[in-house]
Copies of this chain bind each other. A is one copy, B any other.
């Protein structure tokens, strides 16, 4: 092959082509892949929640922390982060955002001067109660969309999946 032929072929390979046929796009195996399907579902759910929380309520991670502290006042940062599967490190600015909004506080612990005990403020409890009511209402919308016990079936399958996969990566 000469240099001229090589250059010609190269030019041809980069030539303009016709626009794609306007047929339905084939997703291949993506709709059977759990990672992809979960991403799409989570995006749809987050979008749906965003509509219900139009006026900048607590973000999902903030709401989760409020829930844990409402039920378990006095837990340590490591405990809350651990139970929510949030990195200890990333929990710091997350909790700071609640403190800055006056929703939660850190208190020292008598018996261990390294540790902190975390609590909701009165404002934090009030915001949590209000947000929890809205979240539960929204959950009923999901139940209605899926219909007839299917939300419960979906939750059960997701819990079982998460548990089965977690078993493979036991804590060190």
The answer to whether A117 touches B33, judged by C-beta atoms less than 8 angstroms apart, is: no
Interface size for A (C-beta < 8 A) is 78
Closest to A73 in B: B20
Which of B35, B76, B117, B145 is the one whose CB lies under 8 Å from A161? B145
User: Closest Cβ of chain B: how far from A155's Cβ, in Å?
Assistant: 6
Helix, strand, loop or mixed for chain A's interface? helix
User: Is A96 in contact with chain B by the CB < 8 A criterion?
Assistant: no
Which of B25, B34, B109, B165 is the one whose CB lies under 8 Å from A72? B25
User: Closest Cβ of chain B: how far from A78's Cβ, in Å?
Assistant: 11
The answer to whether A27 touches B74, judged by C-beta atoms less than 8 angstroms apart, is: no
**Bound-state Cα–Cα, A46 to B38, Å:** 10
The answer to whether A14 touches B107, judged by C-beta atoms less than 8 angstroms apart, is: yes
Contacts A35-B46, A79-B20 given; does A162 touch B72 at CB 8 Å = no
The answer to whether B60 touches A25, judged by C-beta atoms less than 8 angstroms apart, is: no
**Bound-state Cα–Cα, A131 to B168, Å:** 22
User: Closest Cβ of chain B: how far from A20's Cβ, in Å?
Assistant: 4
User: Is A55 in contact with chain B by the CB < 8 A criterion?
Assistant: no
- Chain B residues near A135 (CB, 8 Å)? 29, 33
The answer to whether A25 touches B75, judged by C-beta atoms less than 8 angstroms apart, is: yes
Between A and B, 21 residue pairs with Cβ closer than 8 Å are: A18-B111, A19-B112, A20-B79, A25-B68, A25-B79, A27-B67, A27-B68, A27-B83, A29-B67, A32-B139, A34-B139, A35-B60, A38-B42, A38-B45, A45-B165, A47-B169, A51-B169, A145-B161, A145-B165, A146-B157, A154-B161
